Amino acid sequence: MASRARHKPGIQPNLTPMVDVVFLLIVFFIVVAQITTNERLELILPKLFEARTVDPGEERRIVVNVVPQAEIAEIGGAFLMSGDVFADDNAGVGALIDRLSAIRARDPGISVSVRADRVEHYDRVHTALRACAEAGMARVNLIAERMDVAR
Other Cβ atoms less than 10 A from the Cβ of 116: the count is 23
| Helix, strand, or coil (residue 32) | helix
pLDDT, tens only, 22-60: 999 999 988 877 765 544 444 444 454 444 444 555 557
Contact 118, 146 (CB under 8 A): yes
Contact 32, 25 (CB under 8 A): no
pLDDT, tens only, 55-87: 555 557 888 888 887 777 777 778 888 878 898
* Residue 135 DSSP one-character state: T
Q: What is d(CA 72, CA 145) in angstroms, rounded to the nearest whole number?
A: 18
Contact 74, 85 (CB under 8 A): no
Fold of 61-144: Nucleotidyltransferase; domain 5 (3.30.420)
Q: How confident is the model at residue 8 (pLDDT cuts 50, 70, 90)?
A: low
| Residues in CB range of 60: below 8 A, 6 or more apart | 107, 109, 110, 111
Question: DSSP per residue over 105-125, as a string?
Answer: HH-TT-EEEEEE-TTS-HHHH
Q: Which of 121, 139, 35 is nearest to 78 (CA)?
A: 121
Q: What is d(CA 2, CA 79) in angstroms, rounded to the nearest whole number?
A: 91
Residue type present at position 78? A
What is the value of pTM for the model shown?
0.56
Q: What is d(CA 139, CA 151) in angstroms, rounded to the nearest whole number?
A: 34
Residue type present at position 33? A
pLDDT, tens only, 117-146: 777 778 888 899 999 999 998 888 877 545
